[in-house]
Amino acid sequence: MTEQEDAMPQQGSSTPPEHIRVVVADDHPMWRDAVARDLADAGFEVLATADDGRSAVARTRATVPDVLVLDLNLPGLTGAEVCAALAAAQVPTRILILSASGDHQDVLDAVKAGALGYLVKSAGREEFLAAVRATAAGEPVFTAGLAGLVLGEFRRVKAAGGGSPERPIPELTDRETEILKYVATGMGYKEIAATLFLSHRTVQNHVQNIFGKLQMHNRVELVRFAMERGLDLADPT
Amino acid sequence: MAAMRSGAGQDHTGEPGGPGSAVTPASVPSPPALPYADGSSVAASTKAVLDDEHVVVRGLWRAVDVFRWLALAYAVWAAWERHEQIAHLALGVAVLGVLAGWTLAVTLRPVRTVRAYAIELAIGCSAILATRLVDDPEVITAGAKTIPSIWPTAAVVGFAVLRGWRGGLAAASVVAACSFVEVVEPTPNTITNSIFGLLLGGCIGYCVDLARSSHAALAEAMRLDAARAERDRLARTVHDGVLQTLAFINRRASDLGGEAARLGAMAGEQERILRTLVSQADLAEVGRAVSGDADLRGLLRHVEDDDVQLVSPADAVLLPRRVADEVVAAVEAALDNVRQHAGDDARAWVLLDDAGDEVAVTIRDSGRGVPTGRLAEAVAQGRLGVSSSILGRLADLGGTATVTSGPAGGTTVEMRIPNRRTAGSASRHHGRQPDRRAERRAVDGTDGRGAS
């Protein structure tokens, strides 16, 4: 998949980079250092780096950065598990998944567990920096590939009956489905806005709603999951 | 066995998915009982199964060896019982001696070949026919046993084991024919014994056929599983090392520019190819072909390149094989059209959307698009390639295809294919959800935290 070209932080440079604080988690020293250096060179503040899942959780909880740049395949915990642990601990840090793998299920799991965006490592440096800015601003970094996965997930949930009766999983509106399909066929927000005669901001709102619905499963399950995985939520080290 | 194998292969010879793509490990009952903890044990047990004849077949061979001795003892006892009526006792003893000699020989040195059993069958039949020389005709007509009695049955079972039900029936027929020749006027015994012989040869042969084919299926499943384990192992290594390095080279080299950027682009290209190659989506699909359904994601993987991206859900997009092939052909036609008309720098996306009762495939390109008024004209002229290769195919499948052009340029072809395999049974997702879920380690939800 070549998803790198249309991650679409078309806005998001509103926050000056020097005020964006980042933690980088990657088990490859080469990558970790390069990403941290790129961020530092571009004026971001790199608070810490981590080389496995547990230290990623611990350092993110300790420093509470604006953005956690998270490799999907860390030793110890998967990307989804790191996201779940941070969500369960109510850490407000936004998470950008950066991965060498195009593995579908992993990416979807991480996004469902709270990651705000996903970028393959083959993305260019500028694109990466823009994605970190967008993530810090709370804008989903959405590739066509990820949109396809998200669309598939809503289809699956709907076909499976929409969750348990007491806490149904929300369905997408027709307009949201339409926008998701546009994103999944490589259209930028601007193009979508032009096609649907909507404002750019409205399209962005729709996309954020889609993410919100995807992640709006209950917290109890998440906390229980984190406990089962032996993640101590009380004690950030 | 060979016939069964090739028969099973016919349905999915074109499957581009996994190696062979015949049987998914999950669909074969036996494999889960086998040790799969690591690659070496899989390899070892696979070898054990592949090298050895099936345990049922081996058991039958031992039974034949024992039966031959029992049959010989019975023949000797039967001859002893009626030795007064035997006209040429010495000759009878000689015949039994030959049978004993053969029995001893194959016990000491078992040979499980058609040739050896043909000799045994010939000896048995000769012994039956020799009864004519040993006994007086009146005694035979009165219903006396033949000298070898049930001894030739061992050869019948041998042929059944060697050549299945056909071999068993053929050998039993030869024995029966000799019995009829020997008695001249068939007695009720002759008829009954012949029918029993035919039943025995046919039934044992049929059981052996079944044992062999299930053995072959098991061996195939184990082979696929070993291949999958090996591929998983390779994929992990590639993910952890090669892909990271290639992506890193690409990234750094594009910063340097010039010649380095070109080298970086090559590394990036290889990274993309390798990532697609080791992506695990199709591994779970190995053998969905058994049910006659095909996963569009796997079938369309080949359309991906630098300019075309396949966007698909995490779950398989299943359509009946025939329908899926038509859809693939239509997508290829649409992409050909993009290449011809959308301009050199146009990119294209192929989106698979499985909405349950219908599957939608959307092909959008970022090219020049078609002025609204001229779209119908282009369709009419067949220039878009949509008239026959896309619209025609979709009509055949009971689906629809629409072509639209966006205000920002670019053409979108949307194909909708009714999915009859799920129509009216949305519960199919329920059916395969639990096992998928069990495989996932990731949590299924979060609290939608948006605060910062």
pLDDT digits (tens, 9 = 90+) for B340-388: 777 777 889 999 999 888 999 999 988 765 555 555 565 555 555 555 6
Band of residue B434 on the pLDDT scale cut at 50, 70, 90: very low
Cα separation, B267 vs B272, whole angstroms: 9
User: What value does the mean pLDDT take over residues B8-19?
Assistant: 40
For B:318-347, CB contacts with A below 8 A are: 347
CA distance B319 to A131: 37
Is B406 in the A-facing interface, judged by CB distances under 8 Å?
yes
How many other CB atoms sit within 10 Å of the CB of residue B419?
19
Q: What is the number of H-type helices and E-type strands within chain A?
A: 10, 5
Residue identified by tokens 């009952």 is B29
Distances (CA, A) of A3 to A8, A170, B240: 11, 27, 20
Q: Classify domain B292-424 by CATH architecture.
A: 2-Layer Sandwich (3.30)
Model confidence pLDDT, tens digit, residues B274-314: 776 766 545 445 554 445 677 888 888 888 887 888 898 88
Q: How many CB atoms lie within 10 A of CB A88?
A: 26
Closest Cα in chain A, distance from residue B394 (Å): 21
Q: Which domains does chain A have, with CATH numbers?
A: 4-143 (3.40.50.2300), 146-221 (3.40.50.2300)
Q: Which of A31, A80, A94 sits opposite B452 (nearest CB)?
A: A94
Q: Please name which of A236, A65, A41 lies closest in space to residue A128, comparing C-alpha atoms.
A: A41
Q: How far is A22 from chain B (nearest CA, A)?
A: 13
The side-by-side arrangement of strands in the sheet containing B400-405 is B308-311, B348-354, B358-365, B411-418, B400-405
Strand partners, A96: A69, A117
pTM of the model: 0.57
- Which residues in chain B touch residue A121, judged by CB atoms under 8 angstroms apart? 243-244, 247-248, 251
Per-residue burial over B333-372, b = 16 or more CB atoms within 10 Å of its CB, e = otherwise: bbbebbeebbeeebbbbbbbbbbbebbbbbbbbbbebbee
Gap from B47 CA to chain A (nearest CA, Å): 32
| Distance between B265 CA and the closest CA of chain A, angstroms | 10
Chain B CB contacts of A187 below 8 Å: 364, 406
Over the stretch A196-231, which tens digit does the pLDDT of each residue have?
899 988 998 898 888 888 776 544 556 666 666 665
Per-residue confidence (pLDDT) for residue B104, from 0 to 100 = 93
Say if residues B69 and B103 touch (Cβ distance below 8 Å). Answer: yes
HSE on the CB side for B403, CA within 13 Å? 29
First to last CA, chain A: 38
| Cross-chain residue pair A218–B406, CB shorter than 8 Å | no
Question: In this predicted model, what pLDDT tens digit does every residue of B215-256 receive, in sequence order?
Answer: 888 888 888 778 777 877 777 777 767 887 888 888 888 778
Residues whose CB falls within 8 Å of the CB of residue B217, separated by 6 or more in sequence, listed in order: B8, B23, B28
Please report the residues numbered 237 through 276 in chain B whose beta carbons come closer than 8 angstroms to any beta carbon of chain A. Answer: 239-240, 243-245, 247-248, 250-252, 254-255, 268, 271-272, 275-276
Sign of CA dihedral B163, B165, B170, B172: positive
- Alpha-carbon span B349 to B24, nearest angstrom: 30
Q: Which residues of B touch A83 (CB under 8 A)?
A: 446
Residue-range domain boundaries for chain B: 1-10+20-289, 292-424
pLDDT (0 to 100) of residue A168: 60
Q: B443 vs A109: CB contact, 8 Å cut-off?
A: yes
pLDDT at residue A2, rounded to an integer? 39
A45-50 and A67-71 strand pairing: unpaired
Write the residue in B244, B313, B444 that is nearest to A217 by C-beta: B444
Token reading at B347: 């990119």
Residues 6+ apart with CB under 8 A from A100: A71, A72, A73, A120, A121, B239, B243, B244, B247, B271, B275
* DSSP one-letter string for B212-229: HHHHHHHHHHHHHHHHHH
Q: Which residues of B touch A184 (CB under 8 A)?
A: 311, 349, 351, 353, 362
CA distance B283 to chain A (A): 12
